[in-house]
């Protein structure tokens, strides 16, 4: 049984867990926003009730509770209405911190794959989590540090933290388990960069007359070389004056532009959620040099009658590439410094977020410490007594089974 690259990709977690239609993606984000808003309102209500109860108890002790009417506003169980972020506001905020993550990766001189993986970790995390629950500023550095580990770019935690003022190793490592949970413990990110390099190596080989025709191509290597030399693009020199070196320069120029597009627009849009790596890099080529892209697709699928299966597949591929190319064009230049209008809007969103953050999730470092204490047995009554007994029983059963030479006894 021969597996194609497509078959292999379909077994990846990126395809199985992180590929969506645009409708499904929008639906997930609406559900995440709605759920987070409900949790925020409930958490704020609990915090208000706790403060009210504390003030009332203090007032009772001082004998002033009834006189001041403390707690009367909350007797009906209604607190002030909380204006939560909309889906669009969440996306603008996450997009801004994705850009910041890219800038920090460049500041640290990390490789392109580390930077690209960190951005995708952020986007994946905030697909099922909301900035109202976990602020992107808290998650960003943790996602970037995690990407250095998954992409085999070693840097110690202490060294990484030292690069950022007022940042401790605990600030970076505390949200890491939350991030891994949000990623569904799947760390593999398939990028389009390697496919881009392979595709341009093929194009350069065809220009040199060394390329191998695809199985569906009916043209010889020499004919393909003639065709790529004759490709028209804008106000280029006439075909008679164009040399093989001119064609190679055109290919290299397109490669450089497409690579920059993959480092920016492809990362900041939903391209990774909606398209495969091969579709993304081919769409980047379509944006920078459409005739070259069409030529490459023709070398793979060839020319076929309009009613043939190959022609149907080709039409579907081109429609998909056009759709992805439009998405990449929509975010062109997204890594530049935001203008005054964008900064004003981001400040407004951040100010709104300050009033609608989940108060129970503000200090991730303390939450992480509390979880560790609970995991170690719940010192000073941190865990419920029933939970402690249950865990103790589970440990005793596990130890008893481990001591048995031939394993646990078989049931009847």
* Three-state DSSP string of the chain: CCCCHHHHHHCCHHHHHHCCCHHHHHHHHHHHHHHHHHHHHHHHHHHHHHHHHHHHHHHHHHCCHHHHCCCHHHCCCCCCCCCCCCHHHHHHHHHHHHHHHHHHHHHCCCCHHHHHHHHHHHHHHHHHCCCCCCCHHHHHHHHHHHHHHHCCCCCCHHHHHHCCCCCCHHHHHCCHHHHHHHCCCCCCCCCCHHHHHHHHHHHHHHHHCCCCCCCCCCCCHHHHHHHHHCCCCCCCCCHHHCCHHHHHHHHHHHHHHHHHHHHCHHHHCCHHHHCCHHHHHHHHHHHHCHHHHHHHHHHHHCCCCCCCHHHHHHHHHHHHHHHHHHHHHHCCCCCCCCCHHHHHHHHHHHHHHHHCCCHHHCCHHHHHHHHHHHHCCCHHHCCCHHHHHHHHHHHHHHHHHHHCCCCCCCCC
Q: Extract the tokens encoding 156.
A: 């110690």
| 3-17, 51-65, 222-236, 264-278: segment of lowest average pLDDT | 51-65
Query: Could you tell me how far CA 364 lies from the centroid of its own chain?
Result: 21
pLDDT tier at 361, thresholds 50, 70, 90:
confident
Residue 163 has pLDDT above 80, yes or no: yes
Q: Are 288 and 262 in contact (CB under 8 A)?
A: no
Pick from 189-198, 268-277, 401-410: least confident = 401-410
* Rounded Cα gap, residues 67 and 154, in angstroms: 64
User: What's the pLDDT score for residue 235?
Assistant: 46
Vertex 269 angle, CA 268 and 274, to 5°: 135
CB-CB contact of 141 with 172 (8 Å): yes
Average pLDDT of the chain is: 84
Instruction: Give the pLDDT score at 80.
Output: 55
More confident residue, 78 or 299: 299
Specify the range with the lowest mean pLDDT, choosing from 54-58, 132-136, 187-191.
Answer: 54-58
Is the distance from CB of 130 to CB of 90 less than 8 angstroms? yes
Which pair of tokens denotes residue 340? 């005054």
Q: At 272, list the tokens.
A: 């990774």
pTM of this structure: 0.82
Residues 6+ apart with CB under 8 A from 349: 85, 89, 92, 93
385 against 287, higher pLDDT: 287
Torsion of CA 102, 286, 194, 96, to 10 degrees: 10
Cα 299 to chain centroid distance, Å, stands at 33
Spatial distance between the Cα atoms of 314 and 249, rounded to a whole number of angstroms: 28
CA atoms 328, 29, 99, 92: torsion sign: positive
Q: In residues, how long is the chain?
A: 412
CB 176 within 8 A of CB 138: no
Out of 79-88, 173-182, 352-361, least confident range:
79-88
pLDDT of 410 reads: 54
Cα(83)–Cα(43) distance, integer angstroms = 14
> Region 208-212: what's the mean pLDDT?
83
Q: Which two tokens stand for residue 394?
A: 């589970």
Q: What distance in Å separates the CA atoms of residue 33 and residue 49, rounded to the nearest whole number?
A: 24
Is residue 189 over pLDDT 90? yes
């Amino acid at each position: 049984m021969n597996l194609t690259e497509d078959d292999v990709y379909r077994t990846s977690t990126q395809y199985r867990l992180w590929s969506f239609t645009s409708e499904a993606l929008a639906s997930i984000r609406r559900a995440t926003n709605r759920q987070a808003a409900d949790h925020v309102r409930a958490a704020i209500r609990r915090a208000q009730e706790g403060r009210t109860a504390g003030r009332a108890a203090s007032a009772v002790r001082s004998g002033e509770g009834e006189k001041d009417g403390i707690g009367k506003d909350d007797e009906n169980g209604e607190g002030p209405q909380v204006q939560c972020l909309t889906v669009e506001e969440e996306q603008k905020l996450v997009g801004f911190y994705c850009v910041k993550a890219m800038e920090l990766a460049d500041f640290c001189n990390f490789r392109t794959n580390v930077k690209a993986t960190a951005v995708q970790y952020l986007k994946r995390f905030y697909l099922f989590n909301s900035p109202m629950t976990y602020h992107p500023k808290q998650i960003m550095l943790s996602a970037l540090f995690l990407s250095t580990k998954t992409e085999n770019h070693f840097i110690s935690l202490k060294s990484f933290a030292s690069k950022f003022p007022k940042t401790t190793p605990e600030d970076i490592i505390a949200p890491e388990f939350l991030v891994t949970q949000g990623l569904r413990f799947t760390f593999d990110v398939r990028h389009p960069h390697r496919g881009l390099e392979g595709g341009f190596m093929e194009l350069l080989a065809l220009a040199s007359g060394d390329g191998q025709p695809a199985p569906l191509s009916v043209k010889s290597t020499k004919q393909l070389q003639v065709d790529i030399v004759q490709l028209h693009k804008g106000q280029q020199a006439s075909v008679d004056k164009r040399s093989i070196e001119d064609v190679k320069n055109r290919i290299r120029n397109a490669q450089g532009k497409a690579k920059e597009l993959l480092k920016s627009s492809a990362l900041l849009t939903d391209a990774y959620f909606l398209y495969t790596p091969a579709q993304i890099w081919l769409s980047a080529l379509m944006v920078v040099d459409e005739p070259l892209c069409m030529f490459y697709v023709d070398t793979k699928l060839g020319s076929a009658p309009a009613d043939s299966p190959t022609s149907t597949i080709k039409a579907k591929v081109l429609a998909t590439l056009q759709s992805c190319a439009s998405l990449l064009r929509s975010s062109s230049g997204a890594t530049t410094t935001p203008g005054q209008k964008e900064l004003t809007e981001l400040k407004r969103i951040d100010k709104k977020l300050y009033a609608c953050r989940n108060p129970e999730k503000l200090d991730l470092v303390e939450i992480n410490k509390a979880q560790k204490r609970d995991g170690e047995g719940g010192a000073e009554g941190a865990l419920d007594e029933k939970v402690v007994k249950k865990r103790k029983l589970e440990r005793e059963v596990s130890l008893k089974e481990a001591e048995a030479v031939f394993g646990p006894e078989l049931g009847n």
